[in-house]
Structure 1
Amino acid sequence: MMGYLTIGVNHKTAPVSLREKIAFSPEGLTEALKRAQPLTGSREVAILSTCNRTELYCAGTVDQSRVLRWLANYHSVDYQQLLDHTYCYQEQDAIRHMMRVACGLDSLVLGEPQILGQLKSAYAQARAADTVGPLLSKLFQQSFSTAKQVRTDTAIGKLPVSVAYSATQLARQIFSDLSENTALLIGAGETIQLVARHLQRQGLIDLIIANRTLVRAKQLTAEFGGRAVRLSDLPEVLHEADIVISSTASPIPVLGKGCVERALKARKRRVMFMVDIAVPRDIEPEVGSLSDVFLYTVDDLEDVINENRQQRKDAADLADTLIESDLLAFTAQLRELDAVHVLRAYRENNEALRNHELRRSLQELARGVPPEKVLAKLAHTLTNKMMHAPSVQLKKAAAAGQHERLAWAKELLAIELHEPVKKSAALELDAVHDRL
């Protein structure tokens, strides 16, 4: 089997204080790869570095302590501290690990799709740095293929497991084409930022962001487009919104039933979809009693998320089964490569023997030896010399009573023994025993 090694840390084994120390910047990754290849002794090397993990993928005859020491020295981190938080996978375990990473099974959010793109980027950067060859290339390509199959054959990435994403998916159930709708986001924290990103990816164009601090709202509209307004402006803009998603730190509701009723009247009773992610709630519960409002709270979303998490876990079990199947097929291909090397050497030996005998035959023809005599001698000599080494080994196996090796040789050489040959072989075997 070819030598594969993966060394790394992730969100499960190391605190963020260590992960940030050994992270590789995108602009410095090419230099790091070029330095890692000779200093780690790896024939091939690639590096994946994200906010949740840093991993080195190596191929060839690799010393794991040497790789880890290089990583510690490169980032000026204490070797023992790094060792305490590091995992190491070799051979089949290394192959399985990369496949699981590609499928999102080793991620903080089970089944998240971003990691596959990050892994593809790591491979592309290693190729550009000329630090990957046939071994890692085969592993990366197989991992990408396995991830594609898992995405196709399971529901691992089809069910939302974050509040922000779940809110946007619910919006799509109400409004099929978000590009025709206006969204009002109340608040400007991390959750609202994620909501804005998901809505934009779903095609939404018209965005209003309301926040207590106008500067922060403008920062988000600079990133995602749209208009920034103050919370005090909500009564003037609420009627424009088909979608309202709120997440502030306010201790009291920022949107009351009366304000929503006036907005519905101005909208001529067109439906409004609202999600209140805040705790305490931003939208008065009584708003949910209005006939033209679909109001969801964070608890409603959590019910969806918990159900989806369980379904993702079920899908992950199926994904692991698919990975094991691909792992067996991939390792079989690697073992076939071992046979290829042996066959190539066997062919080269026989070709050298053929060329040597061919030169001798041509010299005999030049001296005037009859062609039929030269050809007969050539055929006889080639047959004897090509059979010499196998014959010696088969006789040794017979003498040692290694019948399984003889049976395998029969299968290897596709030999069907006829009765006279079997008797001759038996007589020769008896003769060998008599000499012992």
Structure 2
Amino acid sequence: MQAVLIQQDLPLDIREKLSLSKKRQSMLREGLLEICKEIIILSTCNRTEIYANSDKAYEELIECIFNICNWDKNLMDYMSHINHDELITHLMELSCGFKSKILGEDQILSQLKEAYKDSLEEGASQGELGRLFQEAIACGKRFRQQANLYEIPVSSASIACKMAKRFKAKNYMLIGFGEVGTLAAKYILSEDTEKLYVVVRNKKVLTLEDERVEIIDFNEKNDYIEFVDCIISCTSAPHTVLRKEEIPGNKALAIFDLAVPRDVETDIGELPNIRLFDIDYISALDDENKRLREERMNSCRHIIETFIEEYKQWIELREIAPHIKNIKAYGEAIYKERVQSYKSKSKSLEDQELAITLIKSTSDAYVNRAIEVLKEEKLRGCGNECMRILEKIFLRE
């Protein structure tokens, strides 16, 4: 297995060029499955990572990725590459929040789930890579439970809402209602908020049971900007959704752009009385929370090590699965032969039933013990020698 990653801490304008919409992710998975056994794509506001179960060389894989995405090949220098063991550790740490710009944030876990789900639905993650993502997601859940990270909540949405309160915002406009938007609405409505306008493409598909909330269509948003103190924008649009000419003159606003590519024209930040913050600025905030999360997370690193070891054991034992199947088949064949022989000689149906049970349980006992020993020796590094002996005992010539 291998992964192609965008290097971390790149400027936003570079990350924008290497981001992948849902449609392009699907297109890329389909194209890469021609040279890969499995493909899972993780594309968020902070990272684009392409995980592949493939024997192809990195050079061939990256060339194929850039061709399918029609990316500028001058951007190849911004990509990095990791292989099997490093990949396993990276993904486990990623699921627990160690790799996030905002240390310990909880968004990444749901993003990993979504990436795995999308791949699974297209039949692109049904082997070792799919199992690794399952284990990483389980690791992230257990890690957060034991580290009690909920006691130090953090995400781009929560930090934006916390800053908005410092500006004494009471009336909000939220543009976009995906995963980040849903979180932002939760934080906004948990405070002393007077009004929240939620802007979506089709207001008929969304209902929020809160009298402070009003759902408005995207083409109506400009009529409401004058009534709000803060705008939080977090759409998945490939273009800007808030332009300079749409802001009323001399309007005082705090604007948080949590999207990649950016939702808000950067020129808006030059207007008087406007405070514009992008995702990179938000990620750099909350140092004290970061210190507390870092201490809490480092004390729970043993959970990651446990999941890494369990996954590696699964990989090793998976290699002997065909041998286990053959041993069981041989035991079943011997059992059936003995039963048939006994039936031909026995005159009592009651005796036959008892004998069948005893013969079957005896066969199973020895077969299962042989399989246990094989697993133990495999994990000790002696699997080949053990298999050679068991084949002589159990498998017919």
Query: Considering the TM-score relative to the shorter chain, is it more than 0.5?
Result: yes
Correspondence list, 1:7-86, <5 A:
7-12=4-9, 14-38=10-34, 41-79=35-73, 81-82=75-76, 84-86=77-79
Letter of the 1:85 counterpart: Y
Tell me: CA distance 1:320–1:197, structure 2 relative to 1, closer, same or farther (3 Å).
same
| Correspondent of 2:302 among 312, 316, 321 | 321
Unmatched 5+ residue regions in structure 2? 176-180, 198-221, 234-246, 253-268, 277-284, 346-380, 391-397
Q: Which residues in structure 2 correspond to 1:99-118 (within 5 Å)?
A: 99-118=92-111
Native 8 Å contact 1:160 1:166 kept in 2: no
Letter in 2 for 1:18: I
Shift of 1:150: 1.3
Query: Cα gap change, 1:202/1:230 in structure 2, threshold over 3 Å: closer, same or farther?
Result: farther
* 2:2 aligned partner, one-letter code: L
CA 1:310 to 1:218, structure 2 compared with 1: closer, same or farther past 3 Å? same
TM-score by length of 1: 0.52
Shift of 1:25: 1.2
TM-superposed deviation, 1:148 = 0.6
Aligned partner letter, 2:32: A
CA distance in 1, matches of 2:78, 2:118: 26
Residues 196, 23 of structure 1: CA spacing in aligned structure 2 closer, same or farther, 3 A cutoff? closer
Shift of 1:167: 8.4
Report matched runs for 1:282-431 at 5 Å. 305-345=286-326
AA at the equivalent of 1:202? S
Report the Cα offset of residue 143 of structure 1: 1.0
Tell me, what secondary structure is at the counterpart of 1:56?
strand
Is residue 158 of structure 2 the alignment partner of residue 165 of structure 1? yes
1: CA distance between counterparts of 2:387 and 2:61?
45
Does structure 1 residue 5 correspond to structure 2 residue 2?
yes
Aligned to 2:195: 207
Structure having the higher Rg: 1
Structure-2 separation of matches of 1:324 and 1:141: 16
How far is the alpha carbon of 1:206 from its aligned partner?
A: 2.4
**8 Å Cα contact 1:157/1:312 also seen in 2:** no
Summarize deviations over 1:95-116 as a string: whole Å, max 9, x none. 2211222222111111111121
Specify the code of the residue in structure 2 equivalent to 1:165. Answer: S
Judged with a 3 Å threshold, the aligned counterparts in structure 2 of structure 1 residues 87 and 156 are, in CA distance, closer, same or farther, namely: farther
Q: Counterpart amino acid of 2:58?
A: Q
Work out whether 1:97 is the aligned partner of 2:58.
Answer: no
Is contact 2:172–2:231 with CA below 8 Å preserved after alignment? no
Distance 2:250 2:331 in 1: 85
Q: In the alignment, is the contact (CA less than 8 A) between 1:45 and 1:126 conserved in 2?
A: yes
Contact 1:154–1:319 (CA under 8 A) maintained in structure 2: yes
CA, structure 1 residues 350+74, in 2 after alignment: closer, same or farther (shift >3 Å)? Answer: same
Task: State how far apart, in whole Å, the 2-side matches of 1:223 and 1:167 are.
Answer: 8
Partner AA of 1:119 in structure 2: L
Higher RCO, Cα 8 Å, sep 6+: 2
Which residue is equivalent to 1:129?
122
- 1:97-138: CA deviation from partner (whole Å, max 9, x where unpaired): 112222221111111111211111111111121111132321
Aligned AA for 1:216? I
Q: Is the 8 A contact 1:155 1:312 kept in 2?
A: no
Q: How far did residue 311 of structure 1 move?
A: 1.0
Equivalences, count: 292
2:93 maps to 1:139: no
Other-structure match for 2:257: none
Alpha-carbon offset, residue 187 of structure 1 = 11
1:267 match: none
CA distance in 2, matches of 1:167, 1:145: 29
Cα RMSD of the aligned pairs, angstroms, is 5.3
Cα distance in 2 between the residues matched to 1:170 and 1:21: 29
Give deviations 1:396-417, integer Å, cap 9, x for gaps: xxxxxxxx98xx759976xxxx
- Correspondence for 1:216: 225
Q: Is the CA contact 2:95–2:140 (under 8 Å) kept in the aligned structure 1?
A: yes
